[in-house]
Amino acid sequence: MSGTRISKTKVGKAGKALTSPLSSSQERTDALAIVNYWREIHAEALQRALGDIEGLGSVGSDVLVAGRIKKLSTIVDKLERPSTPSDLQTMYDIAGCRLVVPDMRALDRVYDGLSALAAFDLAKTSRHDYISHPRSSGYRGKHVILRYDDLECGHRLFVEVQLRTELQHAWATAVEMHDVAVKTRLKFNEIDNPAGRFFRKAALLIAQIEQRGEVDTRAIRSLSEGRLELSAAVGAVDALEAACDAVCLLSDDLSGCASDYYLVDFVAEEQTLELTRLDSMDALATYFEAEGADNDGGRDLVLTRGASYERLAKLYPNYFGDISNFVGLVKRHLDAFA
């Protein structure tokens, strides 16, 4: 279907059909084909974005860069959220890049470089400054939206670039790992619980360290309105450490370069991680096939490009079982959660 141009109207209808309980089996099958077409053509926009980013003088060897096509399960989850309704044809993060920088100074430097790109979309980007305006969960970072109007597919497509410091990234991946290990949904703002309040405090702790260089325990404690979260902090750390210790890496072919695609296949129940290096010709087909074979939803599949194995481990530490920097930071400042 990739050689056929499908209108955005049909893409939007396919997104609705895929998530509607009233859709027939055939309607779901037809809708899935269109949704996967939409994901597939975003690979061209992702390729362009990675090329633009890699050409920036502000993106040096201290910046980790990777790109991915949004998982089908995450697209469906986003379409089904009642609090934040979304349409598939206007979803700006089907293709996404992740940039992890050492600190706030480097983040500002890279952001300035991204803002000078011809593809930089100021109007959409201005809504996504989660450092000046953190999300209710505590998430911080800056997201840049790149727009490409001259693609071979004939559509105007967008790429979301997530820009985070190492500590902001450590917090975000700790949230993802906690969600998998404890079956929470903190990443999707279901945060009115002890774990959610703990991670909000941890996010403020990181912001204080990065922006002021010192910790204000009184301000951190005030986030819970008198409720003590020390037990939640200890419980979260214990769960994260147990999850890290259990990860088993299955792959044996790990020699690759930054231009390779990797299929990340993480099975939470078994705590196994398998990496498969793919060439660009069959990467998307293999990715979609693996998703289709995941009948019980037990596999966490990510197709990513633009990172060697070593950088992949730093960009996705939740899969590799290494968030020691976040755990160590919390342990050093446990008094802030008391």
Q: What is the tens place of the pLDDT at every residue in 160-212? A: 999 999 999 999 999 988 887 788 887 877 778 888 889 999 999 999 999 99
Q: What is the tens place of the pLDDT at every residue in 220-264? A: 988 876 556 678 888 888 888 877 765 556 655 555 555 578 888
User: What is the pTM (predicted TM-score) of this model?
Assistant: 0.88
On whether the 8-337 domain is CATH 3.40.630.30, my answer is: no
In angstroms, the first-to-last Cα distance of the chain is 57
Alpha-helical segments (H) within 86-144 = 104-115, 122-125
Print burial letters for 231-270: b (CB count within 10 Å at least 16), e (below 16): ebbebbbebbbebbeebeeeeeeeebeeebbbbbbbbbee
113 pLDDT band (50/70/90 cuts)?
Answer: very high
Question: What integer is the mean pLDDT of 105-113?
Answer: 97
Among 24-28, 105-109, 154-158, 223-227, the range scoring the smallest mean pLDDT is 223-227
Which residues are 142's β-sheet partners? Answer: 129, 163
Q: Where are the domains of the chain?
A: 8-337
Cα–Cα dist 169/160, whole Å: 16
**Token digits for 83?**
């609090």
